A and B are shown apart, each in its own frame.
Chain A
Amino acid sequence: MNIFRRFFNKKPQPRQPDSFLDTGNGTSYPDSPSLSRNLIRNRETIRVVFENCDDLIIHEVSLGPNHATPALIIYFSSIIKSEVLQTGLMSVLLNPQNYGGSNISLDLLKNRVIPTGQVSEERNWPAIIDGICRASVALIIDGEDGALLINMPGENHRAISQPITQSAAAGPADAFNEDINTNLALLRKRLPTSNLAVEKFMIGSVTKTEVDIVYLRDLIHKELAGEIKTRLDRIQTDGILSAGQIEEQLQDSPYSLFSGIDSSERPDKVASALLEGSAAVMTDGTPFVLLMPTTMANQMTASDDYALRYWYASFIRIIRWSALFIAALAPAIYVALISYHQELIPPSLLVTVVANREGVPFPAFVEAFFMELSFETLREAGIRLPKTFGQTISIVGTIVVGQAAVSAGIVSSGMVVIVALTAIASYSIPSFTLSNNVRLLRFFFMILGGFLGLFGIMAGVSLLSLHLCSVRSFGIPYMSPLAPLSLGDLKDTLIRVPNWMMNDRPRLTAYQTRRQSPNMKPHPPAPDDASSKRKDKPDAG
């Protein structure tokens, strides 16, 4: 057993310090971390640090009541808002009357002269370099060993638009975008409470990506927020450019297909998850917000379910769960029936199926695999192709892969029906992550169905189910409330009960479970009530 232990639990090696990984600035880091009082030397340092950065502007000006103090204004012209720079800073600084006759100093500038609020005073190089790189204008004046950083970011992000991956027919149509402040604003607008906690992290030595943990303070289990922080702290890398990188770091079971983390670009979905005691992790630069803990039941929920009447919503839920099974199993079952269990197909259907397969040279398994692979390729091509070619791919897809393959005798028409069915089914799964997983599992099941028939498929389903039961998302079983069974929480799983019945939050995730008053069931006014009201009402006639 010691051998096993030595094999699997390697002790973590102490990390060697790496200047690029630790600071993101590599070798061009200034020798002394603090500024000099000499403006010329400061300018030299800036030149060295920002070597080859041709879009850096170093503006030499004379400030003060008599234009007597030389100063440097340093900024990246590419990322700051130039109108603000002109009207809000330059014109103010260069007007001698603004100084009121006092001697120039950083304090004076900060408190009395510069009109914007986002001004900070920094005395060491790393902070100043960082500020310049993040859309601040640095102001260094002669004789002072400090600098003012005035933040004026240009607004280089797109406007709030419709969600791309998770559209909904009923319900709000706004989606997150790449700017984390816009995303926070969308959430704050929906949850205007001091309870909405936002904890900011900076991850990535080069990208310095802002990652925020967002949660409702009174609803979340305290350990959950702590655990997310611990896992975020573990990330030591040069750059975070997508939420997927964060997701892989937050997973409970790192090798599992199922991460137990959902991602959404819909503010309403995130808000409702927060209201159930989950936490959200937002990453700057990506419209996808991670939600944790997540169960499979959560991933099968769409925002529409709460916008539509509960009868219809429940019906759609059942359709969706069936679609999950169809998307994963339909081709596998088709292959198994055709290759091993022909006797289970009703005779009249069997005749047609066999007639269709007449002349198809491949075994059903090869045929199914080929068709599913080509469908996945089509799908991938549809995403990669420039928008203008979208039409082309759909024509090629339907005519070539659909009709032509059948008439050329490469595949049977039954197989085309199955592939179309699985494709439709896999797109009705609301969660992008889950839908991708199902798409992968389809091939696993097809192999099992091709080699061992229905027995193999059932063994595979059992294996998958056992695995799903072992997956946890921050301690919450991924399959709850189905397994472990929690009868009270089934109200929002396979069906959706009326809103006035959903009095409690999910038992496992939320810290406080009571959600609403239990007496919300609407009813017509009581008989005597009604008659008295009718009497009070002035007669219209």
Chain B
Amino acid sequence: MLDKGRISSLQLLFLLSMTELATAFLYVPTITAKAAGPDGWISLLVPVTVYASLVVLVCVSLARRYPFQVFTEYLPDVVGTIPGKLIAGISTLVLIHITSVMVVEGAQFIQTNFLTETPVLVLQSVLALVAVYGASMGIEVIARHNEMVFPIFLLSLTTLILLVCKDINLNNFRPMLENGVVPVLKGAMTPAVWRGELYIILWLYPYLNQKKEDYQAAFGMVLLAGIVSTLVVATTIGVFGDLYTARLVYAANTLARYISVAGILERLELFIVIMWVAGLIVKLGIFFHTASIAAATTLNLKNYRILVGPVALTTIIIGNIFYGSYVQVVEFLSKVWPYYGGIIQLAIPGLVLLIAVLRKKGINNEA
């Protein structure tokens, strides 16, 4: 293993939850409300959870076969050297690609809402620099940092929801399932791949120190993130109605701006930006770490740390070339990302798992 760190199952749960919640809750209400209308919260509650559970089942049972190696390390052993290296290379590139979207999302949000005159490149570089420091310190450091950040993150999100829940109009959820289940499923597509990002457990599994609690941590994340994101979507739709939600740019931010308690507690989007930056740095840290480990194992390097910087630089360049504007990001997230993510999160690991079962590779836990 390239990183000697050890993380507990609780830390894994927090890390995985942060990967969804950090970016998702800003975009999810808008994207889901567009497709599913007033039933957006059902999308988050049922289909997304089912999809994410499938990803958990596939990825964890695959990881269990090689408990001390990362995905890109054992691929050649499962499917043969050349196809293995090929898939490993593709997985690495995909990791770098989706990380570049995150960098862009983060910087754009901050530029739009807070620092309108600061060049977006500066914001991206600052985010990336901090995350690079975290990633090169190792997974243990990121996990511990997140252990402090995530509870605060969750607490502020809950407070935010509690403060606006008096303004929820239940009529906004009616009529329920007006157009059948198809819109619900459509609305679930983007959030599903967001929660499906927990497939990076394929790279985090070796660091888990209590391997018996792997399913608890992964399913725990599916439930925890499921409940929180359902609440966020339900609150947004409940307060603004689905039509207005679909037109919002950053729904959660608008929600925070809406809060007014006794005329003193106002303009709480400050907390959103703070939470968001903290969460995004953790998320970027995990993905930089994962992408560098994937690249290092694919290229048979002994040290992943020298790759963290180049990986971060690549993500910034890719992000600026392909996702220069908010529209491009949302187009990618709602039209391309679901299929793309589905292939990389479920299809490829599923295929590899199938081959591993058939060729009896790795440790067979079922026996």
Query: Which A positions have Cβ atoms within 8 angstroms of B?
Result: 1, 4, 340-341, 343-344, 346, 452-456, 458-459, 461-463, 465-467, 469-470, 477, 479, 482-485
> Closest residue of chain B to A465, judged by CB?
B145
- B interface bracket (residues with beta carbon within 8 Å of A): 35 or more
* B277 interfacial contact with A, CB 8 Å: yes
Other-chain residue from A477, A479, A484 in contact with B8 (beta carbon distance below 8 A): A484
* B11 interfacial contact with A, CB 8 Å: yes
Least Cβ–Cβ distance between B309 and chain A, in angstroms: 13
> Closest residue of chain B to A485, judged by CB?
B147
A340: chain B residues at CB < 8 Å are 114-115
Most buried by B among A340, A341, A456, A484: A484
Main secondary structure of the interface of B (DSSP, over half): helix
The answer to whether A453 touches B114, judged by C-beta atoms less than 8 angstroms apart, is yes
The answer to whether B8 touches A1, judged by C-beta atoms less than 8 angstroms apart, is no
B144: chain A residues at CB < 8 Å are 469, 477, 479, 483-484
Stretch among B75-83, B93-101, B123-131, B343-351 lining the A interface: B123-131
The answer to whether B281 touches A1, judged by C-beta atoms less than 8 angstroms apart, is no
Main secondary structure of the interface of A (DSSP, over half): helix
Least Cβ–Cβ distance between A128 and chain B, in angstroms: 53
The answer to whether A455 touches B110, judged by C-beta atoms less than 8 angstroms apart, is yes
Q: A344-B267, A462-B145, A463-B130 are contacts. A484–B281 as well, Cβ < 8 Å?
A: no
The answer to whether A470 touches B148, judged by C-beta atoms less than 8 angstroms apart, is no
> Closest residue of chain A to B122, judged by CB?
A452
Question: In the complex the two chains form, what is the Cα distance from A268 to B285 in whole Å?
Answer: 42
Least Cβ–Cβ distance between B228 and chain A, in angstroms: 19
Stretch among B40-48, B133-141, B215-223, B229-237 lining the A interface: B133-141
Other-chain residue from A452, A461, A465, A485 in contact with B126 (beta carbon distance below 8 A): A452
Query: Which B positions have Cβ atoms within 8 angstroms of A?
Result: 8, 10-11, 110, 114-115, 118, 122-123, 126-127, 130, 133-134, 137-138, 141-145, 147-149, 264, 266-267, 270, 273-274, 277-278, 281-282, 285, 302-303, 306
Least Cβ–Cβ distance between A65 and chain B, in angstroms: 75
The answer to whether B147 touches A459, judged by C-beta atoms less than 8 angstroms apart, is no
The answer to whether B130 touches A462, judged by C-beta atoms less than 8 angstroms apart, is yes
B270: chain A residues at CB < 8 Å are 341, 344, 454
The answer to whether A484 touches B147, judged by C-beta atoms less than 8 angstroms apart, is yes
A461: chain B residues at CB < 8 Å are 278
Q: A4-B306, A466-B137 are contacts. A453–B115 as well, Cβ < 8 Å?
A: yes
Q: A1-B306, A463-B130, A484-B11 are contacts. A452–B145 as well, Cβ < 8 Å?
A: no
Least Cβ–Cβ distance between B77 and chain A, in angstroms: 25
The answer to whether A462 touches B148, judged by C-beta atoms less than 8 angstroms apart, is no
B143: chain A residues at CB < 8 Å are 484
> Closest residue of chain A to B266, judged by CB?
A346
Other-chain residue from A453, A455, A466 in contact with B133 (beta carbon distance below 8 A): A466
The answer to whether A341 touches B281, judged by C-beta atoms less than 8 angstroms apart, is no
A458: chain B residues at CB < 8 Å are 273-274, 277-278
Other-chain residue from A346, A467, A482, A484 in contact with B264 (beta carbon distance below 8 A): A346
The answer to whether A455 touches B115, judged by C-beta atoms less than 8 angstroms apart, is yes
